[in-house]
Structure 1
């Protein structure tokens, strides 16, 4: 049966090439539908006790995200006229942060006082540029007596102060990432300006939204560097071992097509990518390459034994189709097993990779023959570089 299927695939390779290309183009439209979910909640199941507790708290009070700005002045003194001027100006700047609804700092902290029947509430720092030494001493004494100021906005050593920005970010995962990116971009600019205008000052910011943005940046950087590096090294090794530019080109096509199909199907099915599931393309790359190498190695061997290119491809598909199918199915089942995890992020990663494994198998059998046979290849009677080693290893194992 494998022989008849292999013969049909090779004889109708142009038809399969056209059909596969059209299918890939249709799937590619789904890539535009992919959203990104960087919310930490996606790492926990709906019935997770800790997540349910957090949801109940946010439902009763307010669902808000915070970013904390930390400033360590060069003179290590928070209660200093120059530092308080910077804090006051920074407070105004942070109010302009996208999606901000509140900013807490030493400068706008509310100080209450009473005299006779008059109760007064005013900012701790009215105008930092007009402060006298006595005013600064009064502010310092008040801060030392206020538990929140002493532990929340000013360090015990009085050399670091914090500004807390409360945010109301969108809860929709698709809208949240652009909002977080915009917010973090603004804060990065604020941080850069502070450092530039105040040499010696240390400025940092942290919080849940900034962590989300950092996770996305880390994954993007890895994909932008590691994936191309992996591809280049793999193709160099393939070229050295197979000694066939056509085979390397065919492998490149299968990797690209498999990933396009996988990401397209991900979009059509409504999945949102997470930092975890963004590793799926690398897994698909590895598995698609493995499928291609199996078929191409046997194809090259059969072709160098005197068979025509068409017959060599039929021989290769006939001998490799069933083993690759079984390997792909068992690999897909293994990744689908991630659905037993408590984390939805791993469910998505497993499902997306499982789809990619099966797409890689299908296109190795339908797309690869048409691509490889479309290019000329000269027979080379020399065995592949690893052939003597593998023959010796096989004899050793069989004994």
Structure 2
């Protein structure tokens, strides 16, 4: 208890000096956030020494990667062998060869089919010029296509309503994310172009390249949209619960600095954001809010009972500092236990969350007291906020 009393006395006696020192320290840590990158793909879920990952990489080195973009052309219950629909499939097939890093394109229109011509066997694509085909030509092509096991169930639905175009990519190991982005951007533009020319079709995109690109985009978008929305919600809820806009402002500042600690540490540690550890800021927000609510609720209660600001702050620190420290340390230890996971993203999530939780404790103990004395808080019965003298 003697140690706690000395800490409370120091925090209450030198709030502005401690706040300035802590702010500079946290900003130094937060600079690491500029080093953060986004990482996606399936490989990130495995350790570098995982035997399955090693075998997969060896397979790719021997036979090449099998990244692909998969166009699914849905006629909405129609027939893919109708003139406009078949022409759209052929357009996607031909233009997919121009997709960045395209290595091979497979579809019903460029399917190689052998035919007998006298004593010769002619092997040619199933569809040459879709726009010039007659009804009888299209029916003949449909009969051939529906009888081919290499097409049905793979590039052609059994009922002939849906077709697919598979584009195999030859992606470089260096700048892989940029290469995937280029290929997917081209595929999306091509799908939109064909849909615009033939409104009767729905074109969906799938494949490994789409999966990896979507994971990267969702991770980046969540970091930009969800966190600000969460902060706004917290601001409103705390203002209603504590009946103090200033208290909610203090909480948001604490949350921001706590997240800065966690994500800045991740940047300095060389940790990349992925679909798992991107949820760390949400976890940090939860603990930072809890710390602030504990301290501010006691402070406001004492202030509204007529105590002076400095006395109310000292009493709030005396009542809440020990439980806040105990809760934060045990919570951080719980998150650090995630380092026993075999999957790196979950280990990273546990480490970032633990650092953020301890950062929230540090901010609550060293910066929040200075904010409480600096910002205006209204006492009970006062019509105007009281400013510190």
Provide, for residues 67-86 of structure 1, a one-character-per-residue CA deviation record: whole Å limited to 9, x for no partner: 21111336732334433322
Q: CA deviation at 1:132?
A: 4.3
Are the counterparts in 1 of residues 184 and 210 from structure 2 also a CA contact under 8 Å? Answer: yes
Are the counterparts in 1 of residues 103 and 170 from structure 2 also a CA contact under 8 Å? Answer: yes
What does residue 146 of structure 1 align with? 148
Q: CA deviation at 1:380?
A: 1.9
Q: CA deviation at 1:350?
A: 0.8
Q: CA deviation at 1:116?
A: 8.3
Farther-moved stretch of structure 1 (156-165 vs 210-219): 210-219
Are the counterparts in 1 of residues 103 and 169 from structure 2 also a CA contact under 8 Å? Answer: yes
- Corresponding residue SS for 1:349: helix
What does residue 15 of structure 1 align with? 17
What does residue 101 of structure 2 align with? 99
- Corresponding residue SS for 1:273: coil
What does residue 358 of structure 1 align with? 358
| CA distance in 1 between partners of 2:171 and 2:381 (Å) | 65
TM-score, with normalisation over the residues of structure 2? 0.86
TM-score, with normalisation over the residues of structure 1? 0.84
Q: CA deviation at 1:281?
A: 0.6
What does residue 206 of structure 2 align with? 206
What does residue 54 of structure 1 align with? 56
Farther-moved stretch of structure 1 (104-113 vs 367-376): 104-113
Are the counterparts in 1 of residues 101 and 171 from structure 2 also a CA contact under 8 Å? Answer: yes
C-alpha distance 381-133 of structure 1, shift in aligned 2 (>3 A): closer
What does residue 374 of structure 2 align with? 374
Give the paired residue count. Answer: 380
Provide, for residues 175-221 of structure 1, a one-character-per-residue CA deviation record: whole Å limited to 9, x for no partner: 44444344333322222222222122121121222223333444555
- Corresponding residue SS for 2:153: helix
What does residue 386 of structure 1 align with? none
Whether 1:73 and 2:55 are equivalent positions in the alignment is no
Provide, for residues 261-316 of structure 1, a one-character-per-residue CA deviation record: whole Å limited to 9, x for no partner: 21111111100111111111111111111111112122223334444322322232
What does residue 27 of structure 1 align with? 29
Farther-moved stretch of structure 1 (66-75 vs 194-203): 66-75
What does residue 342 of structure 1 align with? 342
| CA distance in 1 between partners of 2:286 and 2:77 (Å) | 54
| CA distance in 2 between partners of 1:168 and 1:266 (Å) | 32
C-alpha distance 303-133 of structure 1, shift in aligned 2 (>3 A): closer
| CA distance in 1 between partners of 2:348 and 2:6 (Å) | 37
- Corresponding residue SS for 1:18: helix
Provide, for residues 15-47 of structure 1, a one-character-per-residue CA deviation record: whole Å limited to 9, x for no partner: 222222322332332222111112122223446
Runs (5+) with no aligned partner, structure 2: 383-389
| CA distance in 1 between partners of 2:44 and 2:72 (Å) | 28
| CA distance in 2 between partners of 1:103 and 1:364 (Å) | 58
- Corresponding residue SS for 1:288: helix
Are the counterparts in 2 of residues 20 and 363 from structure 1 also a CA contact under 8 Å? Answer: yes
C-alpha distance 308-182 of structure 1, shift in aligned 2 (>3 A): farther
Q: CA deviation at 1:114?
A: 7.0
Are the counterparts in 2 of residues 3 and 314 from structure 1 also a CA contact under 8 Å? Answer: no
- Corresponding residue SS for 2:150: helix
Q: How does 1:287-326 map to 2 (within 5 A)?
A: 287-326=287-326
Are the counterparts in 2 of residues 36 and 177 from structure 1 also a CA contact under 8 Å? Answer: no
- Corresponding residue SS for 1:161: strand
| CA distance in 2 between partners of 1:169 and 1:325 (Å) | 50
Runs (5+) with no aligned partner, structure 1: 383-399
Q: CA deviation at 1:94?
A: 1.9
| CA distance in 1 between partners of 2:365 and 2:242 (Å) | 19
Are the counterparts in 2 of residues 66 and 209 from structure 1 also a CA contact under 8 Å? Answer: yes
| CA distance in 2 between partners of 1:116 and 1:240 (Å) | 87
Whether 1:42 and 2:44 are equivalent positions in the alignment is yes
Q: How does 1:83-98 map to 2 (within 5 A)?
A: 83-98=85-100
Q: CA deviation at 1:57?
A: 3.1
What does residue 328 of structure 1 align with? 328
C-alpha distance 171-370 of structure 1, shift in aligned 2 (>3 A): farther
| CA distance in 2 between partners of 1:136 and 1:124 (Å) | 10
| CA distance in 2 between partners of 1:372 and 1:182 (Å) | 50
